[in-house]
Structure 1
């Protein structure tokens, strides 16, 4: 039985799912095949992803493909309760509701793992963490899984280096059709969507500080510039700092940038990126947002400890903190990833690519038994997703002649 907030919300959830499904041609092509081939018959798939409409379409797809599916959210604030209710009506077991406490969040993940999964789809390593700690007795039953985030892949590789990873995981995040599009264009658009709908503030003419210039960070920076902002980038990697500089952004340390920013967006995957020493230098009205997986990039505990007063914002996703020096800074979505905690996440056309890779990665694991470790997405799978996307857009591309192929293969 599902654990959701209110089954009566399902009608709105169905509308959201129906809105995006027609804009996801990769999953549409898989749905047609899965309905007849049932590649996941007898498989039990546990999923931890941000539970909104596009994710629900993926979960339903795997169910159509013959799997028993149980899903929870990878963030306490990213569950859309109406979508959770709709998905439960479509045959998927759902254990998720928005606003779960830390204890409830863990309990919901435990309920999903009660499925005793044979395959997993993970976001940030939430399921893998539990399968290697509190539910380690289930790990040997897992044939493998797919991880879709930079944070999760980083955690998996650390586990593998220590020789402790107990099943194969495919690093979907590193596939070209994922990180070049989801990370850059998806994060760029959805982050600013979350910030703007939450604050209703003008971006043009402001100064935006972006912490981190990986694929996600450069997407956030480019969209900010497109909205008319001046962009400052902070980095710890000298190569990426040079990239940001040559892309036309200012580059400086966070200590230097703290006094300039009107908006601060963290996209590093690391902790303590913005700390009390930086808060003290900020001008009044500065807005703090995080677009990384965990709520550790902005030191929220440190901010609460140094504040002399907290001030309610215009809605539940905005909270003000008056500092000892008199200025007020504003925190969005409790420091959790703003594009999902305060928005709808990436556009459907983007998540179609990522979720197509996720489904195909699980198929690959069933036909290619692997030893424990972290593996790349098969290049043919990456290419198939790219071609389906172009076909859906009515775009044709050239192909190499046999002579050209021979020439490229010769020395």
Structure 2
């Protein structure tokens, strides 16, 4: 943890975020009364932000003992980390930590012998499975927050290496339809503008990947006046992008015309060595997927004759032929490295799913196989209903007659 003198600022920012998180607040109040997590040790590897802080405080009010590490070396908000320590939560996270420190923090969290893991990217779970099998019998279950982590965990399960059940919070409708789309869309643009202060209007903006994060980012870039191009490997998603009004082409072609390229695929080298060869002078490269593997940074380094920092989070690479490429935030999560991550209002639903999934696992994990599971539908719907109520919005309910009609097969034309 960097500096305890930052705690006061952290408390203020955590309280500000809480104003936009009414669903989590209602859960916290119930947890405080019922203590459903009493005696449970939780090891969390998440982005240490104001929104995450409110989730940690909710779990603590439920009776849990928590140790928290960062899930990305650049995503920690140091004032938040200090404030959480003052609240009684063990935090191992410093913005800008190197890789060795990053993994030492994950190991420190595992040293608490947790019963539940909470992960964002699956680094905690994979470290546990590869280095700390001696404590794995203490772990009952876990949750995973993001697409990249879910992919890794499903691969572990397919290889029969996953030792306990994990709920993929990312798969909840109230997570990926809102957090991934509206959260990533807005926060990535925020990070891009904070890092560069460029005018987006008129720029050719390439979005690599048209999943829910890509949909949100493409929509927001178009709203800023950009000419948006989408690259995809999935023909269905590519067709959807076309019908949403975007140009679609291979990355090697898009690289020739792009002013800005942002990757949100969750995969490897969406901007590969061939695309790097085609990049035009002055292009800005960034990533909002979980790992910086989405951009082939070694290929850029191999072609470079010089590199220097131009601004905070903006590194200039000068290529042998004189072209300049600008890489933002080391290719790491732009929205959390150069900005503050998703707005609290959208994380309210994601973290409500986290809190309720933890509670559900404490009560039900013993009957589950070591696989990746979706968020129970009743939790997902409860989160949506509570969010609507917090916004003062009511919806219709089916009458008995309508319910009967919906289950009747005899009536027809």
Q: TM-score, normalised by structure 2?
A: 0.97
Which residue of 2 is the match for residue 46 of structure 1?
Answer: 43
Say which of 337, 357, 361 aligns to 2:357. 361
Deviation at 1:371, TM superposition (A): 2.1
Deviations 1:171-215 (A, max 9, x none): 111110000001111110011100011100011100001111111
Say which of 130, 133, 139 aligns to 2:127. 130
Could you tell me whether the CA contact under 8 Å between 1:187 and 1:339 is conserved in 2?
yes
Which runs of structure 2 are paired with 1:158-237 in the superposition (5 Å)?
A: 158-237=155-234
Say which of 338, 352, 357 aligns to 2:334. 338
Could you tell me whether the CA contact under 8 Å between 1:40 and 1:65 is conserved in 2?
yes
Which runs of structure 2 are paired with 1:51-70 in the superposition (5 Å)?
A: 51-70=48-67
The CA RMSD over aligned residues, in Å, is 0.9
Bigger shift: residues 200-209 or 401-410: 401-410
The 2-side partners of 1:162 and 1:327 are apart by 44
Which residue of 2 is the match for residue 264 of structure 1?
Answer: 261
Which residue of 2 is the match for residue 303 of structure 1?
Answer: 300
Q: Which runs of 5+ in 2 are unaligned?
A: none
Q: Secondary structure at the match of 1:272?
A: coil
Residue 385 in structure 1 maps to residue 383 in structure 2: yes
Deviation at 1:52, TM superposition (A): 0.8
The 2-side partners of 1:78 and 1:354 are apart by 18
Deviation at 1:377, TM superposition (A): 0.7
Deviations 1:131-154 (A, max 9, x none): 110112222211101111111111
Deviations 1:106-130 (A, max 9, x none): 0000000111100111101111101
Deviation at 1:31, TM superposition (A): 1.0
Deviations 1:236-290 (A, max 9, x none): 1011110000000000001111111000000111112213322232222110000
The 2-side partners of 1:172 and 1:123 are apart by 10
Say which of 152, 157, 181 aligns to 2:154. 157
Which residue of 1 is the match for residue 398 of structure 2?
Answer: 400
Which residue of 1 is the match for residue 71 of structure 2?
Answer: 74
Deviation at 1:92, TM superposition (A): 0.7
Q: Which runs of 4+ in 1 moved over 4 A?
A: none
Which residue of 2 is the match for residue 326 of structure 1?
Answer: 322
Which residue of 2 is the match for residue 348 of structure 1?
Answer: 344
Deviation at 1:410, TM superposition (A): 2.1
Deviation at 1:43, TM superposition (A): 0.1
Q: Secondary structure at the match of 1:42?
A: coil
Q: Which runs of 5+ in 1 are unaligned?
A: none
